[in-house]
């Protein structure tokens, strides 16, 4: 029996030495199985519509392949494209500055006032743009709450009120809606910053502006970039608020033009061309975001 056991062990060693293949483990396939649903969702809900829209933007109503849709788009809507870009950049910039300042206040301040502010600033996050549009139409109207407030203190004449149903009101509404969302993201990053860094900056004589620009912002650049990217992309694709506030005036945002071309003219070619311009706006910041994330991953 002992000789048989020695022979079996010797055979086993010889098989291992000869490189006998073992059954492949299912754990090698499991990551692909887990990722597959997410990849399919991205392909079906994002990539396919984008490619279909991009392709159809080159096909005119007569079925001719060419640049006729883009020529028509630039001829009719070039100012709307610039208007969309300008309002989106301005709104995102103002919202970023305000959100950083409010996040700094909530991070460095303790007390019941800060707690109340920390609760109130979250309220606009849960309101859809349709509700905000109706609120802004009442608040920013020529004889609305805002103009009546200014007239009461003698700042303006109520017979000649401020006209806010334009880029000013649009920017105001965008900032009011998106700044709290940015605060929620940026404040989370600020709270992850250890107090020892802030105390060390104070110990060497750093004032509040230096703490913000030399400690909090540099240590949370990734978080701020995420907030900026999400808000910028959201504003480019917003439809209900510009449509309800500005309506048929010119200039207006691209999303309103897209709805106008589809609903009144059935011109899907020009609508898709306008969509491509919106993709370009979003992709500029999105590519910068992806590049920054990849660079951070390489250095980390």
**140 and 34, same structural domain?**
no
**Which tokens hold the place of 158?**
């109520």
**186 and 41, same structural domain?**
no
- Residue 11 domain-assigned? no
The rounded percent of the chain whose pLDDT value lies above 70 is 89
The rounded percent of the chain whose pLDDT value lies above 90 is 32
Sign of the Cα pseudo-torsion (162, 163, 164, 166, in order):
negative
**144 and 237, same structural domain?**
yes
**238 and 106, same structural domain?**
yes
- Residue 19 domain-assigned? no
Q: Read off the pLDDT band of 89 (50, 70, 90).
A: very high
**Which tokens hold the place of 37?**
């649903």
pLDDT at 15: 47
pLDDT at 79: 94
- Residue 6 domain-assigned? no
Average pLDDT, the chain: 84
Beta carbons of 108 and 114 less than 8 angstroms apart: no
| DSSP-derived secondary structure for the chain | -HHHHHHHHHHHHHHHHTTPPPPPPGGGTHHHHHHHHHHHHHIIIIIHHHHHHHHHTTB-TTS-BSSHHHHHHHHHHHHHHHHHHHHHHHHHHHHHHHHHHHHHHHHH--SHHHHHHHHHTTGGGGS-HHHHHHHHHHHSSTTSHHHHHHHHTTSS-TTS----TTHHHHHHHHHHHHHHHHHHHHHHHHHHS-HHHHHHHHHTT--HHHHIIIIIHHHTHHHHHHHHHHHHHHHHT--HHHHHHTTT-SS--HHHHHHHIIIII--HHHHHHHHHHHHHHHHHHHHHHHHHHHHHHHH-
**87 and 149, same structural domain?**
yes
Q: Read off the pLDDT band of 246 (50, 70, 90).
A: confident
Q: Read off the pLDDT band of 94 (50, 70, 90).
A: very high
**78 and 44, same structural domain?**
no
pLDDT at 37: 85
Q: Which residue would you say has higher pLDDT here, 130 or 43? A: 130
- Residue 209 domain-assigned? yes
Q: Residue 115 belongs to what domain range?
A: 67-299
- Residue 261 domain-assigned? yes
**250 and 132, same structural domain?**
yes
In the chain, the number of structural domains is 2
- Residue 18 domain-assigned? no
Average pLDDT over residues 117-135: 89
**119 and 194, same structural domain?**
yes
Does the pLDDT at position 22 exceed 50? no
In this predicted model, what pLDDT tens digit does every residue of 262-272 receive, in sequence order?
888 888 999 99
pLDDT at 296: 66
**Residue 164, CB half-sphere, CA atoms under 13 Å: how many?**
20
- Residue 125 domain-assigned? yes
In this predicted model, what pLDDT tens digit does every residue of 176-202 receive, in sequence order?
999 999 999 999 999 998 888 888 888
Beta carbons of 262 and 272 less than 8 angstroms apart: no
**Which tokens hold the place of 101?**
């300042």
Instruction: Name the domain boundary from 9, 35, 56.
Output: 56
Residue with tokens 């640049």: 67
CA geometry: angle 113, 114, 118, nearest 5 deg: 120
| Spatial distance between the Cα atoms of 273 and 70, rounded to a whole number of angstroms | 6
Domain of 180, CATH number, reads 1.10.3720.10
pLDDT at 283: 85
**167 and 48, same structural domain?**
no
- Residue 65 phi/psi, 5-degree rounding, is -85, 125
**181 and 283, same structural domain?**
yes
**185 and 146, same structural domain?**
yes
- Residue 9 domain-assigned? no
pLDDT at 27: 65
**223 and 197, same structural domain?**
yes
- The highest-confidence range among 54-63, 166-175, 206-215, 286-295, by mean pLDDT, is 166-175
Instruction: Name the domain boundary from 10, 36, 56.
Output: 56
């Amino acid at each position: 029996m002992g000789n048989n056991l020695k022979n079996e062990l010797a055979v086993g060693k010889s098989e291992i030495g000869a490189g006998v293949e073992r059954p492949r483990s299912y754990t090698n396939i499991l990551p692909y199985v887990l990722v597959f649903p997410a990849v399919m969702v991205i392909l079906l809900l994002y990539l396919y519509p984008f490619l279909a829209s991009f392709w159809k933007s080159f096909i005119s109503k007569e079925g001719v392949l060419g640049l006729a849709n883009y020529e028509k788009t630039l001829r009719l809507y070039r100012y709307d494209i610039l208007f969309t870009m300008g309002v989106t950049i301005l709104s995102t910039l103002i919202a970023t500055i305000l959100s950083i300042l409010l996040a700094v206040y909530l991070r460095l301040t303790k007390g019941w006032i800060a707690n109340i502010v920390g609760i109130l600033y979250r309220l606009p996050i849960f309101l859809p743009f349709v509700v905000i549009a109706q609120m802004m139409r009442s608040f920013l109207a020529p004889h609305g709450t805002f103009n009546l407030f200014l007239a009461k203190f003698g700042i303006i004449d109520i017979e000649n009120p401020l006209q806010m149903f334009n880029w000013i009101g649009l920017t105001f509404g965008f900032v009011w809606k998106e700044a709290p969302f940015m605060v929620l993201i940026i404040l989370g990053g600020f709270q992850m910053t250890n107090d020892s860094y802030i105390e060390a900056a104070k110990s060497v004589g750093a004032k509040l502006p230096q703490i913000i620009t030399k400690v909090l912002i540099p240590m949370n650049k990734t978080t701020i970039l995420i907030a900026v990217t999400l808000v910028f992309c959201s504003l480019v694709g917003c439809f209900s608020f510009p449509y309800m506030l500005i309506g048929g005036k010119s200039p207006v945002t691209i999303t309103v033009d897209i709805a106008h071309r589809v609903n009144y003219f059935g011109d899907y070619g020009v609508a898709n061309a306008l969509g491509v311009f919106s993709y370009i706006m979003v992709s500029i910041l999105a590519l910068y975001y992806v590049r920054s994330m990849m660079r951070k991953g390489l250095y980390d």
